[in-house]
Structure 1
Amino acid sequence: ERELIDKDIERLNKQIESREFERNNYLVDIAPFIYLKDEIEKSYKIIENKVEKGELPPQIRETFVHELLERGYCICGNDLNGESRKILEQYITKLALSELSEISIVGKTTIIQIYSDIKEFPEKIDKLNEHINKLNDDLEQKKRRKEQISAEIKDSDIDEIRRLENRRNQLERLIGNIEGDIKSLNRDLEIFNSKLSNKEELYVKEMSKDKKNLILKKKLSLVKNSLKTIEESKLIIKAKIRDQVERNTKNNFLTLIRKKHAFKDIVIDENYIVKVLHSHGYNVINDLSAGEYLILGLSFMSALMTISGFHAPVIIDTPLGKIDDEHRSLITTELPRFLHETQLVLLVTPTEYDHNVKKNLDEFLLKENYYEIRENEANTESMVWCDVNCS
């Protein structure tokens, strides 16, 4: 029994160490976001305000204006000189500041994810601590049982058993002392390695002290590090956006599709190729029906709109023409919810706009925004007509 307990103690110690490492890494990752929550919120509001005012993103690229100035004439053929050239030069200054802040628009999606991570923090840290405490309780229970067994053996009347038990205890103490010495030596080794690394860096620094090139080398190093950081940030942001679009597309697709058990997953790989996985695991993207393709497109579009950060109308022409009644019902009840707070414009034919579709859309449709096309008796003219009573 004691041998089994020793194995359990070793296993529990490893699990505790692993869980504590996981918890500490999580705290290191989440702590900056928690401490900077107010500043992150301010940044988000600033970006949102500029987007709403139309200041971001810039409507005209700075490179286009530079090309006009270099050519010396406008795309209409008129020469650029005097006041017109001065206006363009002033506009370049405003564009430079605006285009520098374009990266903040991409960061808006990251901020939304950070908010979600902060909200999940209390529940997640409680679960980690609860698991660690449970492992510690199990470990203490095993240790107490081991001590109990040792005490029972020591109280035995057999001299040989008592002698071996005492010897075992001596060896365990000796092993503990040796393990402590090993840990101490490892710490000393880390200190010496750190000192050696510092000395090597100092050596490289002293060898590179060329007064003429020192400033240039520093600038070059800064530029290289900045480029590396930007590339890494871009990859991280793109990966997070891709994962979020993938999750939203899958959820939307499985909500809208009638054959829910026929499809297992929606995957967007690193090359941004969309795959629809059958319940047996193979890709059926090329075998979907016309209606299923339409539903996949609506799911992907609504997923993009959810994370884009821009509020623009969505216009869909004949969205219900290639699908059956059940899919019509699902689309007209769920698609407006996917595009919450987004203006959705559906251009439907009288055949598509049947009683059930009208009933489903009445929950979302504004009466004053209902339009129909009216024709004259000769069918030679048509006009768009709005009548609050026509629906």
Structure 2
Amino acid sequence: MFLKTLVLEDFRQFKDRQILNLTTTNEKNIVLIHGENGAGKTTLLEAFSWCLYGDLALTNPNNILNEYVFFNMGEKESKIARVSLLFSDKKREYIVSRSVKVTNIDNKQYWTKNDITLEMTVNGQKISNPQDTIKKILSKELRKYFFFDGERIDRLARPESKKDIQQGIKYIMGLEVYSNAIRHLKEVKKELNKELTTIMEKESPAEISPVQKKEEILEQIDQLKTAIKNHQEFEVQKEEEKKLISQELEKHKEIENIERERQRIETDLEQANEQIQKIEKKEKSFISKNAYLAISNNLLEKIKKYLDKKREKGELPSGIREQFIHDLLEKGECICGTKLEVGDFHYEHLKKLLENTIKKNIEDNFINISGILENVIGYTDEFKKLLEELHQEKNELIKQRDSLEQQYLEIKDKLKNSDNINIKELGKRLEYVENKIKEIMETLGEKKEKLNRLYKELQEVENEIQKHQTLNEKIALAEERVEIAQNILDELEYEYEFLTREVKNKLSEKVGEVFNSIIRGDYSAEINHNFELKVYKNIDGNKIPVGTSTGENQIASLSFIGSLVYIAKKWDEENQGDIFTGAGVYPIVMDSPFGSLDPEYRDSITKNLQKLSPQIIVMLSKSQWSKEVEQNLAPYINHEYILVYHNPKYKELSNDYKTINIDGQEHPLEVDSEYEYTEIRRIK
């Protein structure tokens, strides 16, 4: 998108028809506009916004028509205020014109939405959906990254602006296509589940409950995953803060030994807790495997006594095997040689013995049980001894841990009670951050545990649905549609997350490159894993997060915007024709970008300003103009304008506000006039 011409017709303080030529070249890509506060720089910035989107963030936004023109209107007379913008994008020429018919009603400007007209031509052809076309070229969400007040742009480097960083990545790369698709798919899946529920209610009323329950569980899982992610991000922030405080404490020699001791105790504490957990795990395993033997010792002794009595009576084992007597009777001869015939005394005696013999398997079991009882009876003492050893080992570790915790508290008290007020505050802050991290981790643990329970419930519900599943074709089709929607949703979410991270990494690298070309000292900037624009100081090879000045924030923010423009251009070149990219070339229009910068930073930025975008429109007040700024920007200026303020109170002004020196010549910033308005005067 390249801006070509901005035309203002009786718009706010710009009377009559006034034109700004905004065209630039590859070598001269800057248009410079001078103007004092109140002359109309902010109005020009808002003119772009009103023309493209109908938004006007100015005082008295209802007063769009020029005041002098309105003052000369009769009652119920109407006049038109209009802003037109000519621009090109991807080999197409666009003209956008937004106008409003203003009527004088009781000496007040009156108009409604019906009085606003938006027209657009593309390559000379009028189109019927101008607002949709504008959205595709430069969406409303992207506007703030390329049309902005330079004195407020430092906000992007603040921690609370990480959502702006994420949105910038999303919209500049066209990734809102993914996020919109994901949102719509979730709605579709919800509707499909409702449809499935209705069908199952008709076919098999018992199915309605598990399907609804599944949808409720999935919603709870989504909410819980989002909450866990937010807590994890917060925990990362606090860990970074803890690291920063610890590093700050290490700088102070008077507490160096105390801090080193705190770190050692902290490490020992972690090791002690790990060892206690191992012992407890070992103790539980030992009890679960062996406790039943110790508990059943009395019962086992009773069984042994019972079996011993049987042995003493000769009942177990019998001494004579059943099979042995069968063999003798079948053979008809005793082992002593006596013949055994049916009916005689010896034969009948052996048959009587056969009736009293014990089955072989019973005798075998008796022998096996007797052997086992000999080994396990009396194990209670050994069990108690081994368990006591584990208890003693655990108690020793607990004593060590308690001692370490007491030492740790004493160390932290020393840090809090330090005579050095900075160290004292750092010690208190460290304790607060550590407690906050502990709270976060406990909350995370609870939420993860709840998430696991929900997954188990989900599995149970799915099993229930599967168990009662009918072969009804409508249900099968509805379930298939839900499954397809879920599969597509999973794929889109993965792709969206992957592309966002990929672009973030490339953008972070470019931000660092641009920042290092401007900033002084051992500083660097990046977009961290949490999508925060961070400035670091390099100390002994380590990147230490630092609190940034307004100037450093502004440079970091400008670096981010310049990097957005660069990445978008590269992305567009690499993905020609890809409907998902949505990115192209973007201009930068900024008002007062140097107001918060010291001279050295201002000099560095103006030397590199032309690198931020292929087209840059800059509006400056006299206080931001200097010989150094002029020397740095002059080679890249294609057009230059002054907003000349026609002021009825001109004679009351100091001469300091009346002129500005440009290229060795004095040019008026304000002139005497009967009425108030602003004139756009071209000087180059």
- Shorter-chain TM-score bucket reads 0.3 to 0.5
Structure with bigger strand share is 2
Q: TM-score, normalised by structure 1?
A: 0.41
Structure with bigger helix share is 1
Q: TM-score, normalised by structure 2?
A: 0.25
Larger radius of gyration: 2
User: RCO (CA 8 Å, sep 6+): is it higher in 1 or 2?
Assistant: 2
